[in-house]
Amino acid sequence: MSKIIKLTENQFGEMMAYHGSGSDFDKFNHKKYLSTGAGDQAFGWGTYVTSDEAIGRSYASDDMDVGFMQIFKSKLGVTRNNTLYEVEIPDDNGHNYLEWYGDVDVSIKRIVCKMMKKMEKRFNFRASSGFWPSMSDMRILEGAELYNLLADVLESDKAASLFLMQCGFDGIKYPAGTIWNKPDDASEDAMNYVIFDANKVKIVNKTKV
C-alpha cells in the first residue's frame, strides 16, 4: 500500500503537475539533484515535471532505470527510494513556456533579441556580429532551435535556461512520450514541463510507490 505524506496545503502556483524520482526529498534543489534522472536533460536545463500522474508514477518506478544506468546502480548498491511528487508550478497561460516543437512567435524573438542587446552592453560583447542572428535571420524557428542557439551562444544549457527566465519564461513544454513510451493509462494529450527556477516547483504531496 502506498504511503502518502502530506507536506503543505496549496499555497503556491496555479497548475498541478507530477514528478517521479528514485530519491526522497522535501524541496527541489538544482545543485543537488539536477541531471540525476532519466533522459539526461534532453529538453533543456531545469526540473522536469509532467501533467499526467501515470507518467510521473512511471518515472518514480524502477522501470525508468534501464540499460547501463540500471547495471551501474546495481553494482554500486544504490537503493532507490521511489517517490511520486505532486507539485504546483506556474500556470501555462500560453506565453510563459517555450514550446519545444512549436514555431517561435515573432514577439518572442523580439524579446530575446532585446535581452541579448542588453547582455551585449552589460558584458561588453557583440553577439549580433558573428554568432548571434538578427531578427531577419531567425525567420521560422522552432523552440528547440532557439534554445540550442542560445546554448551555443551562451556556452551551456544552464545559461540558456537562465537567459530565457530573464526574458519572462517559466520553462519549456513538450508532448509527453517523445523519448520514453507513455504508460497505457496516460492521457493522450499529456504534456511535460521543464521549470527553470526550482523555487517555482512547490511540493504539495509525495507518495511512496
Q: Where are the domains of the chain?
A: 3-91+199-208, 97-166
Name the percent of the chain lying above pLDDT 70. 71
Q: What is the value of pTM for the model shown?
A: 0.81
Q: Is the dihedral of CA 151, 112, 163, 178 positive or negative?
A: negative
- Parallel, antiparallel, or unpaired: how do β-strands 202-208 and 3-6 relate? antiparallel
Cα–Cα dist 72/194, whole Å:
26
Which tens digits make up the pLDDT trace of 34-77?
Answer: 655 554 689 999 999 999 999 999 988 865 544 444 444 455 55
DSSP H helical segments within 77-205, as ranges? 106-123, 135-138, 143-154, 157-166
pLDDT at 165: 94
Which tens digits make up the pLDDT trace of 180-193?
Answer: 788 889 999 999 99
Torsion from C-alpha of 26, 157, 163, 28, nearest 10 degrees: 0
